[in-house]
Amino acid sequence: MSQIQGPAIFLAQFMGDEAPFNSLPAITEHMKALGYLGVQLPSGDSRIMDLKTAAESKAYCDDLKGSTNGLAITELASHLQGQLVASHPAFDDLFDIFAAPEVRGNPKARCEWATQQMMYAIRASANLGLTATPSFSGAFLWPYVYPWPQRPVGLVEEGFKELARRWKPILDYADQFGVDIAYELHPGEDLHDGASFEMFLAATGNHPRVAINYDPSHFVLQQLDYVAFIDHYAERIKAFHVKDAEYRPDGRSGVYGGYQSWVNRPGRFRSLGDGEVDFSQVFSRMTAIGYSGWAVLEWECCFKDSAQGAAEGAPFIESMLIDVPTKAFDDFAGGATDAGRNRRILGIS
């Protein structure tokens, strides 16, 4: 039996206003037919759920679980709400679309709304029996990620101090309900790699609910060793997005992409199996560290249609799941300890 659960799929990129993508019962019936066993829900999509009601009513959550055609709810994703907990003013107009209409144009009210939304997502997760919510950290420092002009002394520290100040009440609330905030380390967020994650972790006093939603595709685009990352942060990985990517630099453009469209950037998201991620190594290392959560397809591809990506995703993930051994392959000598025999083998009288 596989230690990692799957295949599952994140529904955010598939939701729409036409059947079968416009309601939870319809879209789960569709995904079940493709071979998926679980679904990660975008918690802020009203076509999926009423997040406030889910936070306040266990009965509502029980009904929600009963409307998925037998598919497990793996996590409630809270990326868009987490994004708005902290946002540099340069992005106010761009991020306003993610907020409720009544708080748009008002950064303070929007932050308060996002904080409340995160608390709803935490309590709703607990009502559903879930232990992690994948999210974004938001960003104060992203406009200054490349140090030119040179960053003033203390700017980075001040940014993480404020980020931690805003997240601390949410993390403390999450601790009450036994729910981890699994930050997706993503360019555009202040938490975008291992080093920035460590800075945030330190700023929160190593808060026990600071966790990671592992997604190797974002590390391919940054040219970070995504396999070694797993061993570095094993104890903090609490969710897993299975997403592929490729990085093909040329004489015109590299990591920063030259303001080009996704199709023309050297770093691009791809459907599973079409990119460069070595998923056999990823699943091996995730199994080795003891990860027993869900492997969730997050589909994004600049070339392939989502219907094809979803159809190919379930068998791809299933092929990567590892049945952990019931006994060691080299256990020919037996498992019992015999001190006397061991001393004889070593030549010790």
Q: Residue 324: what pLDDT?
A: 87
Q: Residue 2: what pLDDT?
A: 83
> pLDDT category, 349, cuts 50, 70, 90?
confident
Q: Residue 328: what pLDDT?
A: 75
Q: Residue 336: what pLDDT?
A: 79
> pLDDT category, 142, cuts 50, 70, 90?
very high
Lowest mean pLDDT among 62-76, 138-152, 215-229, 317-331: 317-331
**What average pLDDT is seen over the chain?**
96
Res. 334: pLDDT tops 70? no
Helix axes 107-127, 155-177, angle to 10 degrees: 30
> pLDDT category, 333, cuts 50, 70, 90?
low
At the topology level, CATH places domain 5-345 in TIM Barrel (3.20.20)
- Residue 111 token pair: 């932050």
**Per-residue pLDDT reduced to its tens digit, 253-296:** 999 999 999 999 999 999 999 999 999 999 999 999 999 999 99
Q: How many CA atoms lie within 13 A of 284 on its CB side?
A: 8
User: Residue 74 contacts by C-beta under 8 Å, 6 or more apart in sequence?
Assistant: 5, 8, 38, 39, 40, 130, 293, 294, 296
**Per-residue pLDDT reduced to its tens digit, 166-188:** 999 999 999 999 999 999 999 99
Q: Percentage of the chain with pLDDT > 90? A: 93
- Are 322 and 32 spatial neighbours (Cβ–Cβ below 8 Å)? no
> pLDDT category, 332, cuts 50, 70, 90?
low
Stated pTM of the model: 0.95
Q: Which residue has the higher pLDDT, 192 or 334?
A: 192
